[in-house]
Amino acid sequence: MKTFKKIDVFLILAVILITVFFALKANNREDEIFLVKLDGKIYTELKKPGDYPVKDKEGKILTIVHYDGENVWVTDSTCPLKICEKTGKIKRGGKIICVPNKIVIESQTQELQTW
């Protein structure tokens, strides 16, 4: 079997184009608020700057989320690999995902209140 064929150039170009298309699609908007989701449900909304501890049902602290009005980052976590801490600061449009604790921190467009 050969290492490389001419058809591979088209495949590589197609993959690059699709990647660039989806990468450019993600845009940052100012009217978004940060949400902390635990196990798929909304745990808290980050509106004011400060520290937000995320606790499980038994009251044990899983993660401490810090918000300074502009960026969000995780200061402490109980997960073994500390991937959420290494993700660093995220702006609106970014995401922090902690798989062992099932925590997702993402920004979402604010729902219009029409009443």
Residues near other proteins (CB under 8 A) = 1-5, 7-8, 11-12, 15-16, 18-20, 22-23, 26, 37, 39-40, 80-81, 83, 86-88, 95, 97-100, 102-104, 106
* Residue 101 near residue 77 (C-beta atoms within 8 A): yes
**49/100 with CB nearer other proteins:** 100
Output the smallest distance, CB 15 to other proteins, in A.
Answer: 6
Q: Is 107 left (phi over 0), alpha (psi -120 to 50) or beta?
A: beta
In angstroms, rounded to a whole number, what is the distance separating the alpha carbons of residues 14 and 2? 21
Which residues is 41 bridged to in the sheet?
38
Output the smallest distance, CB 60 to other proteins, in A.
Answer: 18
Output the smallest distance, CB 27 to other proteins, in A.
Answer: 12
**22/115 with CB nearer other proteins:** 22
**41/48 with CB nearer other proteins:** 41
From residue 27, alpha-carbon distances to 79, 81, 109 in Å are: 30, 29, 12
